[in-house]
Structure 1
């Protein structure tokens, strides 16, 4: 990097204080400064490229895709390669991300790449310092994407990805199942509740997880879809098999599977600002969470079709009218009142609650398991269809352009 003295000298010779300087000499010095600045940018770009591998925390598929596109643009320029087939899920995602940069200059791409990596390094350093101060680390937490609390007879499981609107990735699916299984076996837990951290209950399935699954299976979309189907079926089964009363504290908007699984809860309390949306057709998908069975049973065929097929978004009051929600609580009072309700449920005799739920639910479990299996099989077919892949890629590309 040039010293301050050199830069100062170059600037001085090109200034108005040197009327004797010939025009071509000023241009030459300006070009020298530009070359030195470009050399500095290239050095920084190379430095950040090497530091990416030292990051300890996975930045997520969206950021990695952006970094890939910026790196290709910085080193090769605009994308002129052939478009991969729709079923080559990972390659198509990369191709789309690179193509969307269009005519961005190599220098601009380098600069943005450097900014992204520096931001990741800064965030990682900040998280490390916070962990030292609290004496805790992410690795020491019981779950990575959930908060898990057992107190006074209740277990509260909280979606904890507020920066992603509590979207559920594949790791989170696994963690929720494990959390429910742990609560089921814990003698201190009378009742369990699920809620969200932040303004959202949950934005539903994190669609960028499909890319990660495809990468884990060598880009084979069929193997990835089959693996996703197994994970989803296991996840929903953990709700069906949960033996104790299960309460949903819907603190804000809910989309997709956090909505469809509500039919498997015993009590659903909703904040007045909560909304409920299941946009399956727009994504080329089909209902899950046993909703193809529970929703018509709870609200009737016509109302279920409005939600599951025609994507009608409903309010908390409308959800209560359709028997998805038991009680709507004013947003300003939701945390206090829902907590009071949860503590009351947990104070009731444990075995009485356990046996009562068994009498109500046991007759339905076999049917629910069969519905879950059928829904997951259909979703595996949907995930490998060109219709679904194109819809998801369109969604991800639109989302990527906003980052």
Structure 2
């Protein structure tokens, strides 16, 4: 069973994370399906913009740790790594629609989206140090540019939760609306983009991001080396073992 649903309408591909019983935690199979959706959108000329969303009560609680640990080494063949590379290379506009928990990758993937809209019930967290791990998805490079170095250190190392208004202040989201208004807001913006001249939109995105892609991919690779080392540490193993005993 796939927990990633896609719908193509009026030039907009909506990618929905639908595993609410597990708070939309991302399994390896879900990463594969997310990558496939992005690749499909990339190749289909009728798709002008993509939207990634969860439910109005939950975006994603992050990695399904139990499944993630079964994935083996974090090489370029790992489903999570393949998804991150696809996220960075995606050449069409990508909009995120965020409500409820957006934990770990649920926050870091937003840094690769072109527009992010949040419901006022959203809760963001980057709990890497709490798990004995380190930043991923190039967040160690992107977040300091958004928030400044000291605030980025606070968010990535202390790992405390922050709300939608904080995310707006940090430059992580474009606007905050009620959960009831979120889908309509995102759909309206997506349709507006879909109706703009395609080549102009893609050229604009390319000018904004292309010069950064190489350095972002290098940061991801650098982070992965530390991440895998930490994942194998006794300290991290003890923390994760305690997590599963809860």
* TM-score (structure 1 length as normaliser): 0.59
Which of 165, 170, 178 pairs up with 1:317?
165
Q: Which residue is 2:10 aligned to?
A: 152
Q: CA RMSD in A?
A: 1.5
Between 1:229-238 and 1:179-188, the stretch displaced more is 229-238
Matches of 2:112 and 2:130 in 1, distance apart? 24
SS in 1 for 2:95: strand
Which of structures 1 and 2 has the larger relative contact order (alpha carbons within 8 angstroms, sep 6+)? 2
SS in 2 for 1:312: coil
1:226 Cα deviation from its structure 2 partner: 3.9
After superposition, the Cα gap between the structure-2 partners of 1:369 and 1:227, relative to the gap in structure 1 and judged at 3 Å, is: closer
* Structure 1 segment 160-239 matched on structure 2, within 5 A: 160-197=18-55, 199-213=57-71, 224-226=72-74, 230-239=78-87
SS in 1 for 2:63: coil
Stretches of structure 1 that go unaligned for 5 or more consecutive residues are: 1-137, 139-143, 214-223, 399-403
1:193/1:246 contact within 8 Å kept: yes
More helix per residue: 1 or 2? 1
Matches of 1:378 and 1:211 in 2, distance apart? 16
Q: Which residue is 2:186 aligned to?
A: 338
Q: Which residue is 1:358 aligned to?
A: 206
* Structure 1 segment 216-295 matched on structure 2, within 5 A: 224-226=72-74, 230-295=78-143
Stretches of structure 2 that go unaligned for 5 or more consecutive residues are: none
2:128/2:157 contact within 8 Å kept: yes
Matched, 1:297 2:155: no
1:232 Cα deviation from its structure 2 partner: 2.7
1:228/1:380 contact within 8 Å kept: no
1:384 Cα deviation from its structure 2 partner: 1.0
SS in 2 for 1:393: helix
After superposition, the Cα gap between the structure-2 partners of 1:323 and 1:237, relative to the gap in structure 1 and judged at 3 Å, is: same
Matches of 1:259 and 1:326 in 2, distance apart? 14
Matched, 1:388 2:236: yes
1:177/1:234 contact within 8 Å kept: yes
After superposition, the Cα gap between the structure-2 partners of 1:348 and 1:230, relative to the gap in structure 1 and judged at 3 Å, is: same
Matches of 2:87 and 2:8 in 1, distance apart? 18
Count how many residue pairs are aligned between Structure 1 and Structure 2: 246
Matches of 2:173 and 2:76 in 1, distance apart? 29
The Cα offsets for residues 179-221 of structure 1, whole Å up to 9 and x where unpaired, read as 11111111011111100035100000011114544xxxxxxxx
The Cα offsets for residues 108-143 of structure 1, whole Å up to 9 and x where unpaired, read as xxxxxxxxxxxxxxxxxxxxxxxxxxxxxx5xxxxx
Q: Which residue is 1:369 aligned to?
A: 217
Instruction: Say which one has the larger Rg.
Output: 1
After superposition, the Cα gap between the structure-2 partners of 1:386 and 1:241, relative to the gap in structure 1 and judged at 3 Å, is: same
1:256/1:278 contact within 8 Å kept: yes
1:275 Cα deviation from its structure 2 partner: 1.2
Matches of 1:364 and 1:228 in 2, distance apart? 20
1:258 Cα deviation from its structure 2 partner: 1.4
Matches of 1:211 and 1:371 in 2, distance apart? 22
* TM-score (structure 2 length as normaliser): 0.95
1:225/1:383 contact within 8 Å kept: no
Matches of 2:68 and 2:175 in 1, distance apart? 35
The Cα offsets for residues 257-281 of structure 1, whole Å up to 9 and x where unpaired, read as 1101211111000001111111111
